[in-house]
Amino acid sequence: MGRGEIAVILYNHTDEIFEIKAGYRIAQMILLKYGKHIPVQCLPEEISTTKRGEKVFRSFLFFFFTMYV
């Protein structure tokens, strides 16, 4: 099961300065099915802490992880 940060590379194609502020939505992610999997549902309080600590997206009620077999 993978956990951790996802990095995004941004490139400004203009000559104008563009400031990225906290809370800006700058990326989209598409998840595709890969191989056999068993979905596992975990409540937020059941997940151990990471380096990011409390800096998580609060819009999700449940977190879903996929374990590959």
Is residue 23 in a domain? Answer: yes
Task: Please indicate, yes or no, if residue 8 is contained in any of the structural domains.
Answer: yes
Q: Model-level pTM greater than 0.75?
A: no
Instruction: Report the C-alpha gap between 67 and 1 in whole angstroms.
Output: 6
pLDDT digits (tens, 9 = 90+) for 45-63: 777 666 655 555 444 434 4
Q: Domain of 22? A: 1-43
Q: Is residue 16 part of a domain?
A: yes
- 6: in domain: yes
Amino acid residing at 1: M
Would residue 61 count as lying in a domain? no
Cα torsion 27, 44, 32, 34: sign: positive
**Counted domains in the chain:** 1
Question: Chain centroid to CA 64: how far?
Answer: 11
Amino acid 68: pLDDT: 42
pLDDT above 70 covers a percentage of the chain that reads 62
